[in-house]
A = this chain, B = another copy of it.
Amino acid sequence: MIHRLTLSDVLAEHARSRPRVTAVVDGEARLTYPELDERVTRLADALAARGVTAGDRVLWLGRNGHPVLELLLASSRLGAIFCPANWRQSTDELSFVVDDLTPKVVVWERSEAAAPLSDDGWILAGDGYEAFLSSGSPAARREGAGDDTLPVLALYTAAFDGRPNAALLSSAALVAHSTALLVVRQMEDGFTFLNNGPLFHVGTMMFCLATLQIGGTNVFTPAFEAEEVCRLIDAEKVTQAFLFGQMIDAVTEANRDGKYDLTSLRFVSHSAEWDAMTTVDDSPWCRSKMGGYGQTEVGGMLTFLGLAPGAAGFAGRPSPLVQVRLLSSDGSEVPSGEVGEICARGKSLFSGYFNRPELNAEKTRGGWHHTGDLGRREPDGTITFIGPRLRMIKSGNENIYPAEVERALKTHPAIADAAVIGVPDDRWHQAVKAVVVLKGEATAEDVVEHVRARLASYKKPRHVDFVEAIPKKGFTPDYDALDDAHGGGGYPGS
């Protein structure tokens, strides 16, 4: 008990240690740490009144906002598991999440995809959420249920066997990961993070939680909008935001007239215009440099480029709180310079996937988490990420697993067989191409529309090739032959 530190405990400490610090900014809402603590107390009481107890799931279907952080912290106080789901998903995908997670409470924003699923008991974001929160008592303070190794956050990812899986992260893992980020990014007192990326993705969530850990300020915006991002950076003196590539260009363009002061932003050098608007961080670690290797299952980042200035391996070195081994398929360590599966052990690792005992046993065989990705140790000890052991397409920064798209394609009555590859794409880095064998009548448009109706839009094929047969290796498609024949390429790590 004296070693416990849950996310709710972190908040409880800040409410005492930082009584005047702004914890959260979201539109009109501005909350100090004591105010956030009181709202979380009320929310936990309201959730408890709905019957939420240790191990129960609480689901959020909506865009970014401070309720995401509040529901996570209230779940922590009850020992429950909070899941912010991808609100960009199709009705079928959301339906899968609801069926898989069987949440006791759902808070949702009205959307086309979620509407067909909504239930009498579901709580509407906005006024409905505020009324629900207010129904809880601020006096019904709970010290927190259970220990900090219990799962508190579920993030859907890893659709490598055709269905997404909810990776479970404990308070202990999230606190450890946050602390590693504090070290590597040298986040300090007064840190302000703009949550403009999706909170259902570990990439944004990990910075939100590290900002909480150091007692900084989390600024929320529903989604990326360049001028609003400029306004918030200026108004809240934002230290860091989830910006890269085209988003940085869009922000630069939106502030071409210099209307907003963006100098609070400490960022990696990008373009002459951008560098002139912001404060370029040229420290060796570079607070905003996004180098490294990670996945949801390791809490976010496993290795950091910032821990290996001048490294040979572009993924850098492991976080100070983990061990990495490159293992062959027989479980032995491969020598330096050879490719093996990136395996990990340490404080920030997940607690397995929700309700997948067999998969979990397989992923943690030999006491090491098997990431499913391949890597190599360079002579200087740093790590190079080679690519997924199973096939993955990266389009617009989203992971797309061929197996998932193939499964959707095969539900079409006119499709006999299908395989999915990635082809290079100027805008999205890669685009999805479906290679399809027909047993009835269907056009390329029919095929695309069939997937679009079932999966998130970014997963739909942008190209369809019709063939007589899919080349196979055993029971699985021969992807190398498909790439050669259909222009595949641009895969992550290649």
* Residues of chain B contacted by A186 (CB below 8 angstroms): 186, 188
Instruction: Give this chain's copy count.
Output: 2
Chain A positions near chain B (C-beta within 8 angstroms): 1-5, 9-10, 12-13, 16-20, 149, 172-173, 175, 178-180, 182-183, 186, 188-189, 213-215, 284-285, 307-309, 317-318, 320-325, 336, 344-347, 349, 364, 367-369, 377, 379-383
A2 near B179 (CB under 8 angstroms)?
no
For the complex, give the distance between the alpha carbons of A182 and B182 in Å. 9
* Residues of chain B contacted by A364 (CB below 8 angstroms): 1-2
* Residues of chain B contacted by A18 (CB below 8 angstroms): 317, 381
A350 to chain B, nearest CB (A): 9
B380 near A345 (CB under 8 angstroms)?
no
B5 near A321 (CB under 8 angstroms)?
yes
* Residues of chain B contacted by A173 (CB below 8 angstroms): 3
* Residues of chain B contacted by A321 (CB below 8 angstroms): 5, 175, 179
* Residues of chain B contacted by A309 (CB below 8 angstroms): 189
A175 near B347 (CB under 8 angstroms)?
yes
Considering only CB atoms, which chain B residue lies closest to A19 in the complex? B381
For the complex, give the distance between the alpha carbons of A265 and B344 in Å. 35
A473 to chain B, nearest CB (A): 30
Select A318's contact among B4, B13, B182, B183, beta carbons within 8 Å.
Answer: B13
* Residues of chain B contacted by A380 (CB below 8 angstroms): 19-20
Q: A320-B213, A323-B9, A381-B19 are in contact. Are A345 and B2 (CB under 8 A)?
A: yes
A9 near B345 (CB under 8 angstroms)?
yes
B1 near A367 (CB under 8 angstroms)?
yes
B381 near A347 (CB under 8 angstroms)?
no
B345 near A3 (CB under 8 angstroms)?
yes
Q: List 17 A-B contacts (CB under 8 A).
A: A2-B349, A2-B364, A2-B369, A3-B345, A4-B367, A5-B323, A5-B347, A9-B323, A12-B323, A13-B322, A13-B324, A20-B380, A20-B381, A182-B183, A183-B183, A189-B285, A215-B307
For the complex, give the distance between the alpha carbons of A434 and B383 in Å. 62
A214 near B320 (CB under 8 angstroms)?
yes
Select A367's contact among B2, B318, B383, beta carbons within 8 Å.
Answer: B2
For the complex, give the distance between the alpha carbons of A5 and B284 in Å. 27
Given contacts A2-B345, A19-B336, A189-B308, 7 further A-B contacts (CB under 8 A): A2-B344, A2-B367, A4-B345, A17-B383, A20-B381, A175-B347, A179-B180
A307 near B5 (CB under 8 angstroms)?
no
* Residues of chain B contacted by A175 (CB below 8 angstroms): 321, 347
* Residues of chain B contacted by A5 (CB below 8 angstroms): 321-323, 345-347
For the complex, give the distance between the alpha carbons of A349 and B3 in Å. 6
